[in-house]
Amino acid sequence: MSELIIQFSQWLLTLTQGAEPWDSYARYLPRLMDGVWVTLQLVIVSGIAGFIMAIPLALMRIAKSPWLWVLPYCYIFFFRGTPLLVQIFLVYYGLSQFESLRNLGWIWTDVLSQPYWCAIIAFSLNTSAYIAELFRGAIQAVPKGEVEAAQSLGMSRRKQYQHIILPRAFGIILPAYGNEVILMLKGSALASTITLLDLMGATRGAIARTYMSLEFFLLAGALYLMLTAILIGFFRLLENWYNAHQHATRMPVNKLDAQLRDKHIEDNAR
């Protein structure tokens, strides 16, 4: 893939013939694409990790015992109430203050001291707090009739959450979850503050060499806009597939058994 981008960049250089800013765009395109790939990694890995962390947080959040809900409440309050940039600095610069962490061997040298993993940790902690609150509200918004129907079938509490409540809650939060992923994509630009060469970091590197701040910031904005459009389309398709019952406008009455048809169903199908 990188070789293809390099070849495409060289082909663009032959077309621009030194015309600025297109010539600089073509020369720095491979670095910008590497930055786009790093940005996508941050969003995807952090999004998956944050989603996994959010489920137990949401379940503890709706617990009746204060011993269970007070800790996730404080966790969510902190990460929703402080700036993401502060959280990134706390992970990247703050953890190095503890000697016990610096003595953890490969955990420190390969993970906690690397800007890439520190950014993923900070983004995962931040987005898990927001997603947990989305899940909490969605779980409490699941219609009681569906839960009562599961209880009438003799489902245990674990099976109710596994087969009824959590899948239903996921469908409820999908639009808001898509917005959270998009906000995380735009917030990923802060990763460049800890020397990570994501899209914004690659853009700053190009500006430092060409002094074309306006031109490259406009290009970076266009690339972020393209990534956002892709995410919007993906979540729109996912929402239409997962919540297909909400978009159904016509019932296939003709495919029903003749004994199941009645005047009421046919009238509602029109």
Q: How does DSSP assign the chain, residue by residue?
A: -HHHHHHHHHHHHHHHTT-TTHHHHHHHHHHHHHHHHHHHHHHHHHHHHHHHHHHHHHHHHT-SSHHHHHHHHHHHHHHHHS-HHHHHHIIIIIGGG-HHHHTSTHIIIIIIT-HHHHHHHHHHHHHHHHHHHHHHHHHHHS-HHHHHHHHHTT--HHHIIIIIIHHHHHHHHHHHHHHHHHHHHHHGGGGGGGT--SHHHHHHHHHHHH--HHHHHHHHHHHHHHHHHHHHHHHHHHHHHHTGGGS-----GGGS-GGG--HHHHHHH-
**What local confidence, expressed as pLDDT, does residue 258 receive?**
58
**What local confidence, expressed as pLDDT, does residue 8 receive?**
67
**What local confidence, expressed as pLDDT, does residue 268 receive?**
52
Which pTM does this prediction carry?
A: 0.85
Encode pLDDT of 66-117 as tens digits.
888 999 999 999 999 999 999 999 999 988 888 888 888 888 888 888 999 9
All domains of the chain in start order, with CATH: 2-269 (1.10.3720.10)
pLDDT at 24 over 60: yes
Encode pLDDT of 146-196 as tens digits.
888 888 888 888 899 888 899 999 989 998 999 999 999 999 999 999 989
